[in-house]
Chains A and B, each alone.
Chain A
Amino acid sequence: MKYETVIGLEVHVQLDTNSKAFCGCSTEFGAPANTHTCPVCLGMPGSLPVLNEKFLKHSIRVALAIDCTVANFIKFDRKHYFYPDLPKDYQISQYDKPLASNGYLDINLDGQTKRIRILRAHMEEDAGKLIHTPTASLVDYNRTGTPLLEIVTEPDLSSADETYAYLTQLKSILEYLEVSDCDMEKGSLRCDANVSIRPVGQKELGTKTELKNMNSFKGVRDALNYEIKRQEKQLDSGNPIIQETRLWDEAKQKTFSMRTKEEAHDYRYFPDPDLVPFTVDSLTIENIRKDLPELPQAKKVRLTAEYALSNYDAAVISADKHLGLYFEQAAKQYNNPKHICNWLMGDIMNYLNTNNIPAIKLKDLLPAKKLTAMLELIDQDIISGKIAKKIFPEIIATGKEASAIIKEQNLSQISDTSELESIIRQVIAENDTVVEEFKSGKDKALMFLVGQVMRKTRGKANPQMVNAIIKEQISSS
């Protein structure tokens, strides 16, 4: 049978603030266990929460960037469940009146744009971390109380790839807003997926499973692909899907049922009496909206218009805020944007990916000025593209200018006709047979001869000139 997939996502984003949601403890990642805690985030008896102003502001920025309606009246509720990572045994969250609702996010996949509706986004506090030893469980409350925004989509995603695209797009927006580092490995972005399948044409949704424990975007995609297949196999073999939570096992590349007797949740939400309500008037919301930076979608459109980049190139470059900034910085100093783009999308991205360097570091490693200076050397035929590819890692490694490296290593292109003529004469003399082959019309033979010249000049010969001189010498011989 043919099935279609229905996926809804719940993404938890840690918002980047200095202090926690309701107390002054640091949100810094990686501190020694239980050193970023105080009576408030430890839920000590008598302690009281006070809302971090920046938490609300960041949340509103995100909500507006994903085109949500921001509520004018904001309140916090307590969500109760007993668990050791939750010191008060309730989480301060938002229940019936979330900060934001009815948004959307457009994703691009295979040249198509699809709109993913966002149901709601609400503010809450993060829980602590549990470490399991063979005999006990240990709790670290450093993370407890870190500001979180939970963004919930409608079940509009219909494949693992769409989900991946959604996450990438969301991450890109969050980075543009500078509100989160979105590092799934550090847990600053976490994602749970509800997934179900149904026979094509069926209206009712199938039974869903909830996937957890994915630690990267790739993990989300792999887990969904696995789970979709698993559900298909279940249905094809006449077995029902059980509504349950399943954990993604990265090592085994499989999802596993949590197999816990899940009690029916009864969170006993009620308005937190320790926090007062908040009102945000429309003017304030509009002012925050005006302050939003240019977002990836808008940047993409502008890059195609302003720099004549292709849709694809503009999309790749605008997807990463820092790549986009770098591009525009370089384009200010050098007027062949296509050339910059080719380098960025080719060798430079390759280099960054291979060495696992985030784009934000690029401006320090290879200041745009150094890149454009190198590109100018190519344009002026002082070095070949090939030499440029060779030396650009050295520019990064040593911090030297391209021109300096060329000088030191004597790499500037040989464009002196007489020098090239004498080398080519030598090559022709040494390769009679190949010359004959060329004469009989084998183009490959020319490439071999060019290669020989390059070898003798250690790649410094201007290839166009070499081509022309070889042809000329052979034809006149």
Chain B
Amino acid sequence: MSINKDTVKYVAKLARMKLDEDKIDDFTGQLDKILTYIEKLNQLDTENVEPTSHALAMENVFRKDENIPSLENDIALSNAPEKENNHFKVPKII
């Protein structure tokens, strides 16, 4: 599997990330090299191997259905790039 420029553009769009046009070639080349390296995983037979998604086998961690005080409105909004009327403000969504 190798990656081309269009795939890099598609993935960047999926990740909502603008790439400078003149950097796309660099990214494509670097990612291709990394993915080629990663292909060495295919040397291994993993047919009957269970995947490990967590570093430790833990299960059933809950919290009780109890309320903890929330943040004050002004604290919740204290880092907001833009706010209006106690809300976070974003560009108009059509």
B-side contacts of A132, CB under 8 Å: 92-93
A-side contacts of B46, CB under 8 Å: none
Q: How far is the CB of B10 from chain A (nearest CB, A)?
A: 9
B67 touches A84 (CB 8 A): no
B-side contacts of A141, CB under 8 Å: 76, 88
Q: Which residues of A contact B (CB under 8 A)?
A: 17-19, 23-26, 32-39, 42, 50-56, 82, 84, 130-141, 260, 266, 268, 270-271, 273, 275-279
Given the contacts A37-B76, A52-B62, A131-B87, A276 and B54 also touching, CB distance less than 8 Å? yes
Q: Which residues of B contact A (CB under 8 A)?
A: 14, 16, 53-54, 58-73, 76-77, 82, 84-94
A138 touches B87 (CB 8 A): yes
B-side contacts of A42, CB under 8 Å: 71, 76
A34 touches B59 (CB 8 A): no
Q: How far is the CB of B16 from chain A (nearest CB, A)?
A: 5
B61 touches A139 (CB 8 A): no
B90 touches A136 (CB 8 A): yes
Q: How far is the CA of A141 from the CA of B62 in the complex (A)?
A: 23
Q: Which residue of A lies closest to B14 (CB)?
A: A266
B-side contacts of A35, CB under 8 Å: 70, 72-73, 76
* Secondary structure type dominating chain A contacts: loop
Q: How far is the CA of A137 from the CA of B16 in the complex (A)?
A: 19
Q: How far is the CB of B66 from chain A (nearest CB, A)?
A: 6
A84 touches B93 (CB 8 A): yes
Given the contacts A24-B68, A25-B70, A137 and B92 also touching, CB distance less than 8 Å? yes
B-side contacts of A131, CB under 8 Å: 87
- 16 A-B pairs in the complex with CB atoms less than 8 angstroms apart: A17-B65, A19-B63, A35-B72, A38-B70, A39-B71, A42-B76, A82-B16, A130-B93, A133-B84, A134-B92, A139-B89, A140-B87, A273-B53, A276-B58, A277-B54, A277-B59
Q: How far is the CA of A50 from the CA of B60 in the complex (A)?
A: 10
Q: How far is the CA of A55 from the CA of B65 in the complex (A)?
A: 8
Given contacts A25-B67, A33-B87, A84-B90, 7 further A-B contacts (CB under 8 A): A19-B63, A35-B72, A36-B70, A52-B63, A136-B92, A140-B87, A275-B61
* Residue among B62, B69, B77 with most chain A CB within 10 A: B62
A-side contacts of B16, CB under 8 Å: 82
Given the contacts A19-B66, A38-B71, A276-B58, A138 and B84 also touching, CB distance less than 8 Å? yes
A50 touches B86 (CB 8 A): no
Q: Which residue of B lies closest to A277 (CB)?
A: B59
* Secondary structure type dominating chain B contacts: loop
B86 touches A56 (CB 8 A): no
Q: How far is the CA of A131 from the CA of B90 in the complex (A)?
A: 10
Q: How far is the CA of A266 from the CA of B90 in the complex (A)?
A: 23
* Residue among B16, B61, B76 with most chain A CB within 10 A: B76
Which 8 pairs of residues, A with B, have the shortest CB-CB distance?
A24-B68, A138-B87, A54-B65, A53-B62, A139-B88, A271-B53, A50-B63, A276-B58
Q: Which residue of A lies closest to B61 (CB)?
A: A276
Q: How far is the CA of A269 from the CA of B66 in the complex (A)?
A: 29
B-side contacts of A17, CB under 8 Å: 65
Given the contacts A35-B73, A130-B93, A136 and B68 also touching, CB distance less than 8 Å? no
Contacting B67 at CB < 8 Å: which of A24, A266, A277, A279?
A24
B67 touches A33 (CB 8 A): no
A-side contacts of B92, CB under 8 Å: 132-137
B63 touches A24 (CB 8 A): yes
B68 touches A25 (CB 8 A): yes
B65 touches A52 (CB 8 A): yes
A-side contacts of B76, CB under 8 Å: 34-35, 37, 42, 141
A-side contacts of B58, CB under 8 Å: 276
A-side contacts of B94, CB under 8 Å: 260
Q: How far is the CB of B6 from chain A (nearest CB, A)?
A: 15
Contacting B62 at CB < 8 Å: which of A37, A50, A137?
A50
B-side contacts of A139, CB under 8 Å: 87-90
Q: Which residue of B lies closest to A51 (CB)?
A: B62
Q: How far is the CA of A276 from the CA of B54 in the complex (A)?
A: 8
Given the contacts A25-B70, A34-B76, A50 and B61 also touching, CB distance less than 8 Å? yes
Q: Which residue of A lies closest to B64 (CB)?
A: A53
A-side contacts of B82, CB under 8 Å: 136
A138 touches B89 (CB 8 A): yes
B72 touches A18 (CB 8 A): no
A38 touches B68 (CB 8 A): yes
A-side contacts of B84, CB under 8 Å: 133, 136, 138
A-side contacts of B86, CB under 8 Å: 32-34
Q: How far is the CA of A32 from the CA of B73 in the complex (A)?
A: 9
B70 touches A279 (CB 8 A): no
A53 touches B70 (CB 8 A): no
